[in-house]
Amino acid sequence: MIAAIPIAHSTACNGLNMARIYASTRHCVNLSMRIVSLVPSWTEYLIDLGLGNDIKGRTKFCVRAGEESDRIAVIGGTKNFHVEQIEHLNPDLIISSKEENDKTLVEACGNFADVLLTDVKTIPNALEACKEIALATKKQKAGQHWVDQIQKTWGEPKTLLSKADYVVWKKPLMLAGPDTFIHAVMEWWGIKNSIQDLHGSRYPEISEADWNQQSTDWTLLPSEPFPFQTKHLASFQEMGKNPLLVDGEAFSWYGSRMAHVAPYLEKLAQELRA
């Protein structure tokens, strides 16, 4: 029997969201389901909840926005979205991320719509956010389905049997540190984060000299946020690293993507242990 992943409980506003910090005159229970998503992984999750017709706006990075993505207005990027354009869409609910979105711009959106601000750093956080979004959009049954699927496909945390760095940017060189969702995913699947003991930023910028002091088996080069490709492998090999290209979505996207990528992560973890 597979033990269920515990779900982290949060302080919800009106029983809806974990961090709805922006005042609004609307009542959550009366949402008319005009939704703007500022988070690529949550956009896909909304699609998988069956809310494709309710999404009125998305970022240019919401690449999994369903078969009718062209009809959804693109409102900019995750950091530089256009508040006035969002307001013209007359949304009832805006789904955002503390990590991915600009705080000032998100606060501005709170002047004309309900804002559900997610803050996902752990696997239980991710499951709670799935449930909260499903509740806010009146899709509790579909949301529970996806939570169940994630719990089934992810199972229990795996024993740490391999060790890796996770590079998020090339110049400057930046790695994923502790207190990040990437770190949580790595360790859940048995991949010890080599950089976890480095103090400072959650995404520390590190010199080549300091990096060489860190012991590791692998250097993971994800497809996002920096789009690492085969052409980048040589430069890391010259630094004495053992680089491997990986699917960035598998490590940094939450929501239903977690269930979709579970087979990939399971296979990758096995390969890293070999």
The DSSP line for 87-141 is: HHT--SEEEEETTTS-HHHHHHHTTTSEEEEE---SHHHHHHHHHHHHHHTT-HH
- Pairing status of strand 162-169 against strand 191-193: parallel
Length of the chain as a residue count: 274
Report the pLDDT value the prediction gives residue 197, as an integer from 0 to 100: 62
Question: Helix (H, G, I), strand (E, B), or coil: what is residue 201?
Answer: coil
Amino acid identity of 154? W
User: pTM for the full model?
Assistant: 0.88
| Contact (CB, 8 A) for 192 and 163 | yes
**pLDDT at res. 167:** 97
Check if the beta carbon of residue 187 is closer than 8 Å to that of residue 158: no
Question: What pLDDT shows up at residue 11?
Answer: 35
Cβ neighbours of residue 60 closer than 8 Å, sequence gap 6 or more: 74, 76, 77
> What tokens were used for 182?
């990437």
Q: Which residues pair with 192 in a beta bridge?
A: 163
Q: Is residue 73 classed as helix, strand or coil in its secondary structure? A: strand
- At residue 67, the pLDDT reads 83
Q: Domain limits of the chain?
A: 28-152, 162-273
What DSSP designation does 29 have? G
Equal fold, 28-152 vs 162-273:
yes
**Distance between CA atoms of residues 40 and 57, nearest Å:** 11
Q: Is 163 exposed, middle or buried (0-12, 13-18, 19+ CB in 10 A)?
A: middle
28-152 has which fold? Rossmann fold (3.40.50)
Amino acid, res. 59: T
Interatomic CA distance for residues 83 and 80, integer angstroms: 9
Q: What is the pLDDT along the chain (274 residues), one digit of tens a residue?
A: 233 444 444 433 333 333 443 333 344 444 458 999 999 999 999 999 999 999 999 999 999 998 878 899 999 999 999 999 999 999 999 999 999 999 999 999 999 999 999 999 999 999 999 999 999 999 999 999 999 999 999 999 999 999 999 999 999 999 999 999 999 999 999 999 998 666 667 898 988 888 888 889 999 999 999 999 999 999 999 999 999 999 999 999 999 999 999 999 999 999 998 7
Of 74, 69, 29, nearest in space to 47 by CA: 69
Q: Which fold has domain 162-273?
A: Rossmann fold (3.40.50)
**Is the CB of residue 58 less than 8 Å from the CB of residue 39?**
no
What kind and span of H or E run contains 245? Answer: strand 243-246
Amino acid 201: pLDDT: 79
Q: Which of 76, 65, 62, 48 is nearest to 133 (CA)?
A: 48
The reported pLDDT for the residue numbered 214 is 81
